[in-house]
Amino acid sequence: MLVAVWSPKGGSVTSVVTAGLALEAAHGGPVRVVALAGDQAAIFGLAADPEHGVGAWLAAAPDAAPDALEELSCPAPGGVALIGPGREPIGIARPNAVAHLATVLRDGPELTVVDAGGVHTPTARLLVELADVSLVVIRGCYLALRRGVHEPLVAAATAIVAVEQSARPLRAREIADVLQRPVLASIPDLPEIARVVDAGVLPMRPPLALVDPIATLVRRLDLGSRGQVA
């Protein structure tokens, strides 16, 4: 199964949601994270970003062997395998190469979670379109909702992960009403989550403020048992 995590607006903690989702789902079986941006290595506490990553595979596709992805992955804490973007550019990959990548990721034995970030590139957008599950991460603020209303990918999204801020009045219900998609989890924008992420110890010391809503998300999507979306 292929899950894409993305946002119509930058700064919406898609990388944190991706990592949390992967760590929680790993309790039920193997999980692979594919990062289209460079934040996942830091979040998982790795010393450096992998030199080669999904960009190298896309450059070689469609001739790249599916098992070559395993050679590009590196073990990360929490039982998660990580494939970073690498140094090769990925934003302008050929559409047939991206489609081939989506097929390989979907058909693999692992649950694959893609951190598609702000979907600013054709590669990210196409992977989101081809994913089995599309999760929109969005803050409860006017600008983010305005972007979401005008983003065509939102209409086809499976669900929303709301990031709620105490200083803003918009909550999960309002976000769902505006975007006309279900909100399956609400994550509070708390300093304790940011501190753990910044320290690179999220896999070892995940805060309950993140664990609880992510566990709810995994359960509602039936990702722990690798089942189909409920």
Encode 28-76 in three state secondary structure: HCCEEEEECCCCHHHHCCCCCCCCCCHHHHHHHCCCCCCCHHHHHCEEE
Question: Residue 93's pLDDT band (boundaries 50, 70, 90)?
Answer: confident
Say if CB 10 and CB 118 are below 8 A apart. yes
* Tens of pLDDT, residues 131-147: 999 999 998 888 889 99
Give residue 225's pLDDT.
65
* More confidently predicted of 67 and 160: 160
Position 70 scores a pLDDT of 87
The Cα–Cα gap between 78 and 202 comes to 9
Query: What's the confidence (pLDDT) of residue 229?
Result: 42
Q: Band of the pLDDT at 52, cuts 50, 70, 90?
A: confident
**Dist. CA 173–CA 145, nearest whole Å:** 13
Side-chain-facing half-sphere of 72: CA atoms under 13 Å? 25
pLDDT band, residue 217 (cuts 50/70/90): very high
Q: Among residues 195, 141, 198, which one has the least CA distance to residue 165?
A: 141
- Residue 81's pLDDT band (cuts 50, 70, 90): very high
The pLDDT tens digits for 185-215 are: 999 988 999 999 999 999 999 999 999 999 9
As a whole number of angstroms, the distance between CA 93 and CA 18 comes to 22
> pLDDT tens digits, residue range 26-44?
999 999 999 997 789 999 9
Residues 6+ apart with CB under 8 A from 63: none
